[in-house]
Amino acid sequence: MAETYTPTIGLEVHVQLRTRTKMFCACALDFGAPPNTRVCPVCLGYPGVLPVMNEEAIRLTVLAGLMIGSTISAYSKFDRKNYFYPDMPKNYQISQYDKPLCEGGTVEIEVNGELKRVGITRIHLEEDVAKNMHFAHASGIDFNRAGYPLMEVVSEPELASPDEAAAFLRALKQMLEYAAISDCNLEQGNMRCDVNCSVRPAGRTTLGAKVEIKNLNTIKGVHAALQYEIARQTAALAAGETLTQETRLWDSDAGVTTSMRTKESAHDYRYFPEPDLMPVVLDAARVEAWRAQLPELPRQRRERFVRDYGIPQYDARVLAADRAVADYYEAAARQSDNPKGVSNWMMSEMLRLLAERDTNIRQIAMKPDALAELVRLVDEKTINVPTAKDVFATLFAQGGSPHQMVKERGLAQVSDVAALEQTVQTAIRENPKSVEDYRKGKKAALQFLVGQVMRLTRGKANPQVARELLTKKLDE
């Protein structure tokens, strides 16, 4: 019988913090600025310059730690991580070695409906390095990114599958976005991940040789690289090979990992305390003041949505998953007598259009109060649902007031019996066959006649009133 194998996965996630300026100098964070235009002697690594700590970066890192239940270090310090590479001309990165800002904590993930708590080893703060760019006949270095405040979240090796690793990254991203700690824009490299993965025969307690996959910058990439790597290691072990500890690179085009360096050539960073920076000493009062700034977490918000707005668990989960969507929903729900109705429009038209147009809810022209008003117009039966869908699409694209739009375009639904009577007569006169069918007991014929009334009024008739009037006339 074939042996089964168990994967063990740990993640190191680098997150760029949402500060105004860099970690140790006053250069602005400005993604997309022309290369090497947001630089100074400090982030270019000139000899003799002195770093100055960005307190906001410390605060954001501590907030992240508080959100996941870390112990916040009363005393922590920065260290030099020495290495030689063109992305860091001073030949060391300022990081934290043995005294990180946060230790311990857990991130809760959900995979296939099951909750799992994943341990966090530590969160430390460091500076980002420059970006190497490769062209046809040359390479360049952009120092705009050098010195960005970079928070590194290290998980315990407690993830057991690519799905769990992806769920972990989604949960972390959701929390960091909620607290505005980072924009977590994966395309802009705000969140980059190193993955540790080993495989061992099921039942064996000692871990297999650890493989590290470097610098993955999408959740999809992490998932795909892990799937590949687990299959590769499993096949090697099953064939009786011995695996060695090594660092590998993910090639997303080819869908494979390739060996970059083995343990023999692994770096020795020779960490030592950064002599140009004071230790970070945080007293309890300051940490508590920061704790008071913590926002409501996605999960708390979900529960509150169910409680306050009476919407189903499922709706609350979908709406609360993204902070901007949750804010939008809440702004509309607060102005509405029908928060469930607002949720229905969010869950259907809003999310569908956002996905279709591949846009962000922050960027759409339609305002939350317009959504509340649209729901009211439907509830008051001023417009029917098909008309409301058209109005929604127009509002989504160009904004404006639904009330105004209904008035200007004459979209108001006709519920007035006197006004509809004429049209009902016409529908009956023009469709003698259906009338006959109906009188013979064919109920479907009535639906057809309602459809005719809708057509004659160009969709504006209140279908319910039309149906009542038709039945009355036909049964006379």
How far the first Cα of the chain sits from its last, in Å, is 79
Residue closer to Mn ion (CB basis): 65 or 298: 65
| Shortest distance in whole angstroms from residue 23 CB to Mn ion | 13
Core vs surface per residue 256-284: b (16+ CB within 10 A) or e:
ebeeeeeeeeeeeeeeeebeebeebebee
* Interacting residues with Zn ion between 18 and 37 (CB under 5 A): 25, 27
Instruction: Please report how close the Cβ of residue 97 comes to Mn ion at its closest, in angstroms.
Output: 11
Nearest approach in angstroms of CB 178 to Mn ion is: 24
Residues 6 or more apart in contact with residue 336 via CB below 8 angstroms: 342, 372, 375, 376
Place of tokens 């990081």: 95
Residue with smaller CB distance to Zn ion, 37 or 244: 37
In the complex with Zn ion, the residue whose CB is nearer, 93 or 384, is 93
| Beta carbons of 312 and 306 less than 8 angstroms apart | yes
Query: Which long-range CB contacts under 8 A does 368-371 form with residues at least 24 apart?
Result: 368/328, 368/329, 368/331, 368/332, 368/335, 369/331, 369/332, 369/335, 370/395, 370/399, 370/400, 370/401, 370/402, 371/332, 371/342, 371/345, 371/346, 371/395
How many angstroms separate the CA atoms of 391 and 397, rounded?
10
Pick what 152 binds: Mn ion, Zn ion, none; C-beta below 5 to 8 Å, kind-dependent: Mn ion
CB of 174 to Zn ion, least distance (A): 31
Name which of Zn ion, Mn ion, none residue 27 binds, using a CB cut-off of 5 to 8 Å depending on partner kind. Answer: Zn ion
In the set 31, 35, 36, 40, which binds Zn ion (CB under 5 A)?
40
Residue with Cβ nearer Mn ion (142 or 152):
152
Site for Mn ion contains 152 (CB under 5 A): yes
Spatial distance between the Cα atoms of 53 and 24, rounded to a whole number of angstroms: 5
Choice from 11, 43, 375, 454 touching Zn ion (CB under 5 A): 43
Q: Which of Zn ion, Mn ion, none binds 43 (CB below 5-8 Å, type-dependent)? A: Zn ion
Minimum CB separation of residue 124 from Zn ion in Å reads 21
How many residues of this chain interact with Zn ion, rule: CB under 5 A?
Answer: 5
When the beta carbons of 15 and 237 are compared against Mn ion, the nearer one is 15
Query: Taking a C-beta distance cutoff of 8 angstroms, is the pair 108, 117 a contact?
Result: yes
Binding site for Zn ion (CB under 5 A): 25, 27, 40, 42-43
Binding site for Mn ion (CB under 5 A): 152
